[in-house]
Amino acid sequence: MSGRIDLMGEAALLVRWPAELAAAGAPLAAMAALQREPLPGVIDLVPAIDSLLVCFDPLAVDRDHLTARLQMLAAHPPLTALPAGRDVTIPVRYGGVDGPDLDEVATQLRLTPHEVITLHTATEQRVLMIGFAPGYPYLGWLPPELHLPRRATPRVAVPAGSVAIAAGMTGIYPTTLPGGWHLIGRTDVTLFDPAADPPALLQPGDRVRFVNAEAQRGQRRRGGKRKNAKGAEDAKRFERKDAEGG
Amino acid sequence: MDRFALAAANRLVGNRPDAPALELTAGGVQIRFGAPMLIGLAGADLDAQLDDAPLAPWRSAIAPAGSVLRLRGRRGDWGGRAYLAVAGELAAEWAVGSAGTCLAGGFGGYQGRALRAGDRITVEPRSCTAADGMRWWPVGRRPAYCAQPRLRVLPGPQHDMLPEAWEQLLKTAFQVDQAASRQGYRLAGATLPTHQLSLPSFGVVPGAIQLPPDGQPILLLADAQTTGGYPVIAVVIGADLPLAAQLLPGDRLAFTATDLATAHAALAEQAAWLAAGPEDDESGQLLAWAGSW
């Protein structure tokens, strides 16, 4: 069981792994290996659900060397050396105007809205990839009880901060964008800030836990919001409270 | 979009090849220079005039203070984008390691948006002397721009899943649809076989030809998204992306298969042209101009 490598033009190679290796984290493990020992001429690495796109300057790279490295990683991704990732907490206001699809999602899944929220907040999700739009994270995987396909008709404009589920994953819209996922809530966290380094809040491999902002007795929690003194203060207050509460 | 023309325009004025410059699409633009500047124009012939004198692309020129550059629109049978470089530093907002404008994200470049009438762009001019000279790019050192280009492609990662689509792609003439932007061109004029393939999203590159289920291919370009889920049946080679960049809606194009060695050789050739730089203009007429300020 090994991945395959295909040309994506003369300046990129696409490595794809079979489902089992992909689910075990092969794309992120291979990316981490290529970051630890970078090859001259490699410009960009784009991890995705079951693949890694390696972009390079064809006039600067040693193609034979690169191909040999990738063949190795395709066959034996160093799964034991998966990047640790950071823990990120994202507060969400579920349902109502912030999550207009929550009730419909619950009906489709034969759950109550409360059960959907409980399942969504109980599951630690990993950032599988960033794509679609700057800073848009694909998080997985959701428990089978929350699996449902995309909406039949996509929305023309999904508000920024919307937290949405589809195809076993959660996505968060960094800005107002068209979208076909089911909107179950909304967050105030800034997902993409071109002036920040790195600009995207979430990186592949990070572990995300969603918390129900409303359940915190109206106290607003803005854990991930950067460049916002008040947000940072709120987050600190919360850490203390968590500590006190045990 | 046309990275060769961008680099060529910058090299005309002695800038580094990837210095910030203006991409002028389809014409209909006027630019007034507040101070004398050494300028370089490359890419499409959009019928440029500097005050009342015609200004051919692929040349440098002196724009006197108060002079106006007008680009009226395509002259001849090809071309959509011209690149204007000025000697020195164009003030641009840098974001994520680039001075380019991210229209989708609304950041970078000039306030994260396309320029509008009335905008003022600051330039930190580099002092120029007559020794900088007037330069031009001979035709032999430019990509083979033409009407109805035949873009060379390598098979894409999913070409073997859709062999008929790959074969028909190479036999069909297409037209750039009205739905065309810096992100990509939807290709009209023919439909490739429809399909039901559903793939997990994967990284894509400018030049990738995606085939959505409806059989209308999309050619991704400079502002392509980083990932996509439609099968990629072919990828236009880097050396031919400048040709793709010069197309406007309604223009015709076709594709022809090539191999990796050819793709490399073509790219290396263009890199060598750019490294060698433009030639001095031997007419000497413009040199007199340059010495006068």
A48 pLDDT tier (thresholds 50, 70, 90): very high
For residue B136, say if its preceding peptide bond is cis, omega within 30 degrees of 0: no
> What is the residue-averaged pLDDT of chain B?
92
pLDDT at site A28: 93
Assess whether pLDDT exceeds 50 at residue A154.
yes
**Residues A130 and A59 both lie in one domain:** no
Work out the minimum CA distance from A172 to partner chain B, whole angstroms: 15
Alpha-carbon distance A211 to A219, whole Å?
12
pLDDT at site B260: 97
CB contact under 8 A, A131 and B106: no
Assess whether pLDDT exceeds 60 at residue B291.
no
**Residues A98 and A209 both lie in one domain:** yes
**Residues A92 and A32 both lie in one domain:** no
CB contact under 8 A, A9 and B95: no
Q: Please write the tens of the pLDDT for every residue from B35-68.
A: 999 999 999 999 999 999 999 999 999 999 999 9
Q: Please write the tens of the pLDDT for every residue from B101-114.
A: 998 888 999 999 99
CB contact under 8 A, B203 and A8: yes
Residue carrying structure tokens 């700057």: A134
- B145, containing H or E segment: none
User: Lowest mean pLDDT: which of A18-27, A214-223, B187-196?
Assistant: A214-223
Residue of chain A nearest B260, judged by CA positions: A10
Residues of A in contact with B226 (CB under 8 A): 46, 130-131
DSSP state of B213: T
What is the average per-residue pLDDT within B161-188?
95
Residues of B in contact with A134 (CB under 8 A): 102, 104-105
B131 pLDDT tier (thresholds 50, 70, 90): low
Residue A15's domain comprises 4-75
Alpha-carbon distance A110 to B163, whole Å?
42
Residues of B in contact with A133 (CB under 8 A): 104-105, 225
Phi-psi region of A110 (alpha: psi -120 to 50; beta: other; left: phi over 0): left
Assess whether pLDDT exceeds 90 at residue B146.
yes
Residues of A in contact with B102 (CB under 8 A): 134, 194
Assess whether pLDDT exceeds 60 at residue A242.
no
B229 pLDDT tier (thresholds 50, 70, 90): confident
Assess whether pLDDT exceeds 50 at residue A241.
no
User: Lowest mean pLDDT: which of A198-207, A232-241, B149-158?
Assistant: A232-241
Q: Percent of chain B, pLDDT > 90?
A: 81
CB contact under 8 A, A48 and B203: yes
pLDDT at site A95: 96
**Residues A138 and A29 both lie in one domain:** no
B128 pLDDT tier (thresholds 50, 70, 90): low
Residue A240, in any domain of the structure: no
A243 pLDDT tier (thresholds 50, 70, 90): very low
In total, chain B counts a number of residues equal to: 293
Residue A243, in any domain of the structure: no
pLDDT at site B133: 66
Work out the minimum CA distance from A210 to partner chain B, whole angstroms: 24
**Residues A142 and A197 both lie in one domain:** yes
**Residues A125 and A155 both lie in one domain:** yes
What is the average per-residue pLDDT within B262-287?
86
**How many domains does one find in chain A?**
2
**Residues A159 and A202 both lie in one domain:** yes
SS3 B251: coil
CB contacts < 8 A (A, B) = 103
Residue of A8, A14, A131 lying closest to B226 (CB–CB)? A131
